[in-house]
Chain A
Amino acid sequence: MNAASMYGLFAQGVIVAAAVCAVALRHRGPCPRPMRQVMVLALSVLAVLLVPMDGVSIACHLRGLWGDPSVVTLGVLLLHVLRPSALPAWPDHRLCALLTVLVTLPLHAPLFLPVPMVTWDLYTLGLQPWVLLAALAITAVLLRRRAGGPWTALVGVALLAWAAGLMESDNLWDYLADPVLLLAMAFAGFTGIWTSLHR
């Protein structure tokens, strides 16, 4: 089994653990019993890896269903399970909305719009990602006063993971974001704008 498969199967355990924490444990604020969180993670990972279903593990089913989450998403989920107090808040809702307009929509538009209307393909920028790396560096410089938070660290870890070839994908976009994370960011951005407009 290669590193990419190990990452993908482990990530399914983290997703299940995060779901268990969100639904069953409902922790708020600093977790009073960190060991319980570790146990939830360990049991979830073991369960999805070892419990068979139709000849393969549950992790293989989940992987077939939604694939592997991005490194940033996995980091958020791990924080959610292990250190909820360190869970990063969404950036400013205007930044979320801006990223949605600049990234999420152009990234997925070629998939859902009739092709003659769309001549770009932002996704290809992640294969030889000089432009993407330059954009990240410029953003880090521009936001350096606010760049000490967990989002910066998670993006840094995602870049290191891409350099190590940790996931199946060769595309940097897949390390930085996935549809669930982008959808959550869009939701945070536009609900924030809606709330501020109707305050």
Chain B
Amino acid sequence: MTPTATRLPMLLLVAGLVAAALRVPRVPEPRFLVPPAVMPGERPDPKPIYRLIDLPQPTPSAHASCVLPLHQGDLLVAWFGGAREGARDVAIHMARLRDGLVEETWVALTRERLQELVHRVIRKLGNPVLWLDTAGRLHLQVVSVSYGGWSGSAVNHLVSEDGGHTWSTGRRLVLSPFFNLSTLVRTPPLVMEDGTIGFPCYHEFVDKWGLWVRITAEGRVLEQARMQRYEGGRLQPAVAALDPTHAVALLRSGSRHQRRIQRNATDDGGATWPQKRSLPIANPDAAVAMIRLEDGSLLLAANPLEAGRNILQLFHSLDAGQSWTPLRIVSRSDEPGAEFSYPYLAQDGLGTIHLTYTHLRKGIRLCSFNLEWLYLENPPPRPLIDPAPSGGGP
């Protein structure tokens, strides 16, 4: 071998090391973007508001909705619908609402279109999650499966410039070293102070756990951290930021033995999630939703049962999710097989809270209300506890 041929591999390695060192992203310390608190009564018209809307049902089955408040009080709702969960005709449906009325519904994404965008076969579509970046572009993260069941899922990141009618770019997020198997999303992301996005997702191949991922608005993965679990599988973390460094996550129980919601917390902007404990709220292996309300308190929507999803109830916490007060029951039925599940919460800029959930597996129901309605029967103690100093406590 000539000296040049001998040196070439080493030269390639050195060039690669230098190029890679130049490409390593400079990632600022993670800090959650937390809007300033607005106390009840500060709104000009503090009358209780409550509104219930059944969204159109273009398919026999609908599930896993999400809701995104837009500017001027408009709402976007997305869900997956088809013949049944996992069927090949399942598509992502969307609806746009204005002033409490459904203005438009459409099929936002089909399996075939996603195949074209990510250049791989897609057998079924799953949970969608919508969010806006700081530039106002609409993003959709959607679960898809190429082969196998839900544990073979991956997350796709799409961007729309026209409010969700077409998706121009598609990207598969790679979050696991083992064939990128089994990463799913369900709950809303959080915007960080530097404009990056932190989104909770979860893994459910062999074992189940929550995962916190930080990405750029273009979908580049910057960081990821596993959430430690208490015992048994835990999945679908719903995360609420309390201050720039503290956040709390509530996780669905995937365990047959410990059917309780698990609480995790971070005190370093999501870099680690070491604090964990089980809450005294039952969970029948069903998704939960949690948001930080504009008054600084936390709102939880869950099925507080060990079996069945026939009661959907709201809970309220003033101490960073360590203790929860049961509030109103949103839906309840004693009919066999009744299901009010997969809640998703959001609060718009006018203070109205929007809750979407699966109604009997046939349609999506939107329930909109405000803090005055929420506190009508259960007024919170005054003053509200500022969660910032003790927010990350175990």
List the interface of chain A (C-beta within 8 A of B).
1, 4-5, 8-9, 54-56, 60-61, 63-67, 107-108, 110-116, 119, 121, 123-124, 127-130, 133, 136-137, 140, 144, 147-153, 155-160, 162-165, 167-174, 178-179
How many A-B residue contacts, CB cutoff 8 Å? 168
Q: Are A149 and B9 in contact (CB under 8 A)?
A: yes
Distance from A169 Cβ to chain B, minimum over Cβ atoms (Å): 4
Q: Which residues of A contact B330 (CB under 8 A)?
A: none
A119 to B228, CA, bound (A): 8
Q: Are A174 and B174 in contact (CB under 8 A)?
A: yes
Distance from A67 Cβ to chain B, minimum over Cβ atoms (Å): 5
B362 on the A face (CB < 8 A): no
A55 to B120, CA, bound (A): 11
Given A9-B119, A115-B228, A167-B174, 10 more contacts at CB 8 Å? A56-B115, A63-B119, A115-B207, A116-B231, A140-B13, A148-B1, A159-B19, A160-B12, A163-B16, A169-B180
Q: Mark B334-366, 1 if CB is under 8 A from A, else 0.
A: 000000000000000000000000000000000
Q: Are B25 and A148 in contact (CB under 8 A)?
A: no
Q: Which residues of A contact B16 (CB under 8 A)?
A: 155-160, 162-163
8 residue pairs bridging A and B, Cβ less than 8 Å apart: A60-B115, A111-B205, A116-B231, A123-B176, A137-B17, A153-B9, A155-B16, A170-B221
Q: Are B6 and A148 in contact (CB under 8 A)?
A: yes
For B111, the closest partner residue in chain A by CB is A55
List the interface of chain B (C-beta within 8 A of A).
1, 5-17, 19-25, 27, 112, 115, 118-123, 146-147, 171-172, 174, 176-180, 203, 205-207, 209, 220-226, 228-229, 231
For A110, the closest partner residue in chain B by CB is B226
Q: Which residues of A contact B174 (CB under 8 A)?
A: 167-171, 174
Pick the contact of B9: A148, A163, A165, A170 (CB < 8 A): A148
Distance from A120 Cβ to chain B, minimum over Cβ atoms (Å): 10
Q: Are A56 and B13 in contact (CB under 8 A)?
A: no
Distance from A166 Cβ to chain B, minimum over Cβ atoms (Å): 11
For B3, the closest partner residue in chain A by CB is A148
Pick the contact of B179: A9, A113, A179 (CB < 8 A): A179
Pick the contact of B14: A1, A61, A156, A172 (CB < 8 A): A156
| Known contacts A127-B224, A128-B222; A55/B205 CB under 8 A | no
Distance from A54 Cβ to chain B, minimum over Cβ atoms (Å): 7
Q: Are A153 and B178 in contact (CB under 8 A)?
A: no
Q: Are A170 and B220 in contact (CB under 8 A)?
A: yes
| Known contacts A108-B177, A137-B17, A163-B16; A148/B10 CB under 8 A | yes
Q: Are B228 and A116 in contact (CB under 8 A)?
A: yes
Q: Which residues of B contact A112 (CB under 8 A)?
A: 206-207
A121 to B273, CA, bound (A): 13
For A139, the closest partner residue in chain B by CB is B13
Q: Are B122 and A115 in contact (CB under 8 A)?
A: no
A144 to B25, CA, bound (A): 29
For A118, the closest partner residue in chain B by CB is B226
Q: Are A179 and B120 in contact (CB under 8 A)?
A: no
Instruction: Report, nearest first, the 10 A-B pairs whose CB atoms are least far apart.
Output: A159-B16, A64-B146, A156-B12, A163-B19, A169-B174, A152-B9, A153-B9, A64-B121, A156-B13, A156-B16
Q: Are A129 and B207 in contact (CB under 8 A)?
A: no
Q: Are A127 and B222 in contact (CB under 8 A)?
A: yes
A164 to B20, CA, bound (A): 9
For A65, the closest partner residue in chain B by CB is B147
Pick the contact of B206: A111, A164, A167 (CB < 8 A): A111
| Known contacts A147-B9, A150-B9, A160-B15; A67/B180 CB under 8 A | yes
Q: Are A173 and B13 in contact (CB under 8 A)?
A: no
Which among A1, A61, A130, A159 has the highest number of chain B CB atoms within 10 Å? A159
For B182, the closest partner residue in chain A by CB is A111
Q: Which residues of B contact A160 (CB under 8 A)?
A: 12, 15-16, 19-20
Q: Which residues of A contact B205 (CB under 8 A)?
A: 111
A171 to B179, CA, bound (A): 13
